[in-house]
Amino acid sequence: MFISLAIALPFIIAALIPLIYKHIRQWHLGWFVLAVPVALFMFFIRFIQPVATGKVFTSTYAWIPSFNINFVTYLDGLSLIFVLLITGVGSLVTLYSIFYLSEKESLHHFYCYLLLFMGAMLGVVLSDNLMVLYAFWELTSVSSFLLIAFWHHRKASRAGARKAMVITVLGGISMLAGFLMLAQMADSFSVREIAAMTLTNEALFIPAMLCILLGAFTKSAQFPFHIWLPDAMEAPTPVSAYLHSATMVKAGIYLVARLSPVFGGSAVWFWVITVIGLITLFWGSFNAVRQTDLKALLAYSTVSQLGLIMSLFGVGSMAYYFGYADEHLIYTQATFAALFHLINHSTFKGALFMMVGIVDHEVGTRDIRRLGGLMAMMPVTFTIAMAGSLSMAGLPPFNGFLSKEMFFSAMLTIKNVDVFALSSIGILLPVIAWVASVFTFIYSVILVTKTFFGKFKPERLDKRPHEAPFGMLISPLILSLSMLLIFFFPNVLAQYILSPAMRSMYHEAPIEKIVPHITPWHFNTELMMTVGVILIGLLLYKYLPKWRRVYQIFTRERSFNALYDASIQKAEQWSDHVTMRYMTGNLTHYFMYIYVCFVTLVSGYFIIAGTFSYDATINAPIANYEWIMVFVIIFAAFYILFAKQRMTAVLLNSVIGYVIAFLFVVFRAPDLALTQLVVESITTVLFLVCFRYLPDLQAGKKRSKRARKWHGLIAIATGATVTMIGLAVLNYDKFAPISSYFDDALNLAGGANIVNTILGDFRAFDTMLEVVVLFIAGLGVYTLTKLKPKKGAAKDENQ
Amino acid sequence: MKINDVILRTVTKAVIFIILTLGVYLFFAGHHSPGGGFIGGLVLASAIVLLYLANDIETVHKGLPFNFKKVAAIGVLLATGTAMVSIFFNRPFLTQVATYIELPLLGKTSFSSVTLFEAGVALTVVGTVVTIILSISEEE
């Protein structure tokens, strides 16, 4: 119960911000918003103890039970890790943003989007229902889009936002297809229920897996979809620290972890995840070295680290294949390392992003060609950078060292396995891992030395650098401290946070055996590998100018970025071309499209389904006055054809409408008659208002004979189709009749007016959506007629 | 849209209240007899349109200082919002409740949560219709 409220809280506050932000001008809006993640963090901390003892918390709210879609929350060890990251890092980032963003920015937008994201992300990791999870998943993409484009006057921001949106939503839709296949196989939307089943032999098993993985890979920036992440760095730095390193990009990893019990143990799952993860790890770290922008460097580093975590989950899935006998428990260690590194990565990458933000804020640039020698001027920032980089490079005494060593051991173990064709190429896995770690070491060194060591170049800077205000330093300092603490007391974390998560990954395994005792000080092959990384790394760093030329092979023209740009450009051209072909701006054409489609679909349906039948014998007798009304309608309709002026045509049209309303009265349908009367009046007014925009009625008569013949044909076909529908409904039996509503209206809906109970209760869903459509149509008319681009607007857009 | 027609304006003054009353009546009557949110909204909208026809836009705007786009937006929020409320009581989306309460003067009166939903529909209709007609007629 309270967990669902916890998900709702950020949304509620986000909805309140537009109302209250004007009244708290004297305070930075961030102080107000800060309370949300802090409160949520406090709230979720209380769950650590019960979850560590193996408890899970669920709650269910009926949403659309008729489709089996319910709002089910499920909090177990795995969710708890993410929840604590989202709220914990969220608190620190919000605190940091208070000092990062000045009050001149449109803060109410920023915090509204940030809270929207926070709620959506909590929803992703706490939902048990696949459809609800998907909805929250897409909401994180949308809020990420809004946050990247926060400085939307910049062209690069908008391009980056669009790229992130296109790629992640593409994956999201594929994931939806995968979810639907999964639900089809399992006959359930519940992740827990699906995980308990064996689906390996189903025909859709592999397609569903691949579709879902595409979603996870695009979200977690895996190769070759990683290209959106560096461009997303156009966002304000707090956003990069929060969404694009600590939380949102880990949603894909969460999904892989969550669905491991479903798909784990299959060779495809193992190979796809491990290989893509390792390629991403290598490619990210290799490209990070060439970057000159600090944030771009960190972006590629994030890509690389995400690949590392991903590949570990791939190796860990081997445990589902072998089962939980003592000699095979070793594979679960990879998963343990993945979860451990997930937390560690959030701490050191968060700190590093905040550090770069501070440099950018206080020095005015983040280009390493202009930076240097800042150590003396920014000692605290330097300390943070040092701690973060050491942890990132995997050196003691920081937490990154521990998880990096565990990563090496996982890769060393897997090379000896003899299934899934691993015996032949298994040796490659630890080699790639080691090479990528060398590059990781190099870019970590670059990050620190180019910024803080070397010669200070004041002539290249716009500002006089100085240490950041204390408020800005709090968050990265807390993160740095936690890196140290985790290194010295890793087993506390293992016992309370990691072991419950391991339990939710491997339900049947003996929990005490799959959680290792972490020893910070050890001596083994992994340590030797780390020493090798340092030595080779330092050597390569020294001779970096000599081998830098390698990067010239990978020009922008040969990258996936070029492919993305080209496909976007082609898609735009093509859709432009197609749209221009039929959107002629000519109303006559549009009416033709509408009527031709209508006639083809409806009469096509009647012909193919063979449902048209008409029996004149069951008709009621037609009274004389009914004949007269029908005759008036026919006469008015006929006369419209020969009207010389549009006014005459409009008035004749109203005659038809009012007589129809009268017919409704005769047939005892007062609701319909009322509606028809009012609609007719308002339409007439609308016609009169539009008059001066419509062309002369006589202009139509100048058309060619052939065009007029076609128009006549379409008109007659449309009329015939409508007549056919009218005649067919009498004997139509393909849909359930609604006459039962007559009996149930008072009982079920508590209303005696059947029309209204249908609108407001039985079919209220239709009504609700119609209301929304009506509103959108109104806004459409308003924007089309009122909001024209101002002069010079195009120039503003493209700064 | 400036029509200087004395007869129309005089008639409007009398008729407008009849139409408005009818609109409100239809809205509340909808649950048990002909009427409802959609028709009620349409009648109210037609009353406002009539006001605009008889007077000029500025005059009407002084008397009815609403931004009709916002009226429509509030309507949509109300309709979708009341639809969502039922989730929090662990009932399916869009569940409505109705009850009868004895009131001192009115006697046995029916209360129903669908009225709020209908109010959303009505507001959307009023807001959208007036927005459309105004934005087309105002254009330079």
Of residues A423 and A545, more confidence is placed in A545
Closest CB from A64, A670, A749 relative to B92:
A64
In the structure, what pLDDT confidence band is assigned to residue B106 with cuts at 50, 70 and 90? low
Residues paired with residue A367 on neighbouring β-strands, in sequence order? A293
Contact at CB, A764 and B135, closer than 8 angstroms? no
> What does the block give as tokens for A703?
């058309």
Q: Give the tens place of pLDDT for each residue, A49-95.
A: 888 888 888 888 877 777 788 888 999 889 999 999 999 999 999 99
Q: How many contacts does A have with B, using Cβ atoms within 8 A?
A: 164
User: Please, what is the Cα angle at A539 between A534 and A541, to 5 degrees?
Assistant: 90
The CA distance from B23 to B43, in Å, is: 5
Please give the distance of CA A180 from its chain centroid, rounded to a whole number.
Answer: 17
Final residue before a domain boundary, out of A542, A568, A597:
A542
Determine the average pLDDT of the residues in A574-591: 88
Exposed/middle/buried for residue A455 (C-beta within 10 Å: 0-12, 13-18, 19+): exposed
Determine the average pLDDT of the residues in A724-746: 76
Judgement on whether residues A761 and A653 belong to the same structural domain of the protein? no
Closest-CA distance, B23 to chain A, in angstroms, reads 11
> What does the block give as tokens for B125?
């209709």
Scanning the structure block, which residue is given the tokens 């590194």? A341
- Give the residue from chain A lying closest to B43, CA to CA: A678
The CA distance from A241 to A384, in Å, is: 14
Asked whether residue A560 carries a pLDDT value surpassing 80, the answer given is yes
DSSP letter string over A763-788? THHHHHHHHHHHHHHHHHHHHHHH-P
Judgement on whether residues A410 and A498 belong to the same structural domain of the protein? yes
Contact at CB, A772 and B121, closer than 8 angstroms? no
Judgement on whether residues A690 and A764 belong to the same structural domain of the protein? no
| E strands in A34-173 | 57-64, 69-75
pLDDT of B49 reads 87
| Chain A residue numbers touching B72 (CB-CB < 8 A) | 775, 778-779
Asked whether residue A354 carries a pLDDT value surpassing 90, the answer given is yes
Judgement on whether residues A751 and A683 belong to the same structural domain of the protein? no
Residue among A288, A350, A369 nearest A476 (CA): A350
Helices (H), chain B: 6-29, 37-54, 57-63, 68-88, 114-138
Contact assessment for residue A486 and residue A347, using Cβ atoms and an 8 Å cutoff: yes
Note every long-range contact of A518-523, with CB atoms under 8 Å and residues 24 or more positions apart, other chains counting: A518/A402, A518/A406, A518/A490, A518/A491, A518/A494, A520/A396, A520/A397, A520/A401, A520/A402, A520/A487, A520/A488, A520/A490, A522/A405
Determine the average pLDDT of the residues in A160-165: 92
DSSP letter string over A36-51? HHHHHHHHHHTTHHHH
> What does the block give as tokens for A43?
């709230």
Closest-CA distance, A73 to chain B, in angstroms, reads 13
Q: Give the tens place of pLDDT for each residue, B59-105.
A: 888 888 888 888 999 999 988 888 777 766 766 666 776 666 666 66
Final residue before a domain boundary, out of A666, A694, A722:
A694
Of residues A321 and A163, more confidence is placed in A163
Contact assessment for residue A277 and residue A314, using Cβ atoms and an 8 Å cutoff: yes
In the structure, what pLDDT confidence band is assigned to residue A126 with cuts at 50, 70 and 90? very high
Judgement on whether residues A666 and A535 belong to the same structural domain of the protein? no
In the structure, what pLDDT confidence band is assigned to residue A187 with cuts at 50, 70 and 90? confident
The CA distance from A245 to A253, in Å, is: 12
Q: Percent helix, strand and coil across chain A, each rounded to 5?
A: 75, 5, 20
Judgement on whether residues A670 and A756 belong to the same structural domain of the protein? no
Asked whether residue B32 carries a pLDDT value surpassing 60, the answer given is yes
Contact assessment for residue A86 and residue A118, using Cβ atoms and an 8 Å cutoff: yes
pLDDT of B99 reads 65
Asked whether residue A614 carries a pLDDT value surpassing 80, the answer given is no
Whether chain A has a CB inside 8 Å of the CB on B30: the answer is: yes
Count of the separate structural domains present in chain A: 3
Greatest mean pLDDT range, A36-40, A784-788, B81-85: A36-40
Residues paired with residue A293 on neighbouring β-strands, in sequence order? A367
Asked whether residue A572 carries a pLDDT value surpassing 80, the answer given is yes
Determine the length of chain A. Answer: 799
Beta strand A57-64 pairing with B98-103: unpaired
**Which of helix, strand or coil describes residue A56?**
coil
Residue A273 lies in a domain: yes
Residue A359 lies in a domain: yes
The CA distance from A307 to A281, in Å, is: 5
User: Please, what is the Cα angle at A477 between A476 and A479, to 5 degrees?
Assistant: 65
The CA distance from A670 to A676, in Å, is: 10
Q: Residues 767-786, chain A: which have Cβ within 8 Å of B?
A: 767-768, 771-772, 774-775, 777-779, 781-782, 785-786
Contact at CB, B83 and A772, closer than 8 angstroms? no
Half-sphere exposure of A300 (CA within 13 A, CB side): 23
Judgement on whether residues A366 and A503 belong to the same structural domain of the protein? yes
Contact at CB, A62 and B131, closer than 8 angstroms? no
| Domain range for A660 | 623-694
Final residue before a domain boundary, out of A542, A565, A594:
A542
Count of Cβ atoms closer than 10 Å to residue A573 Cβ: 10
Q: pTM for this one?
A: 0.82
In the structure, what pLDDT confidence band is assigned to residue A688 with cuts at 50, 70 and 90? confident
Asked whether residue A553 carries a pLDDT value surpassing 80, the answer given is no
Residue A290 lies in a domain: yes
Judgement on whether residues A669 and A750 belong to the same structural domain of the protein? no
Max Cα–Cα distance, chain B, nearest Å: 58
- Give the residue from chain A lying closest to B68, CA to CA: A778
pLDDT of B1 reads 47
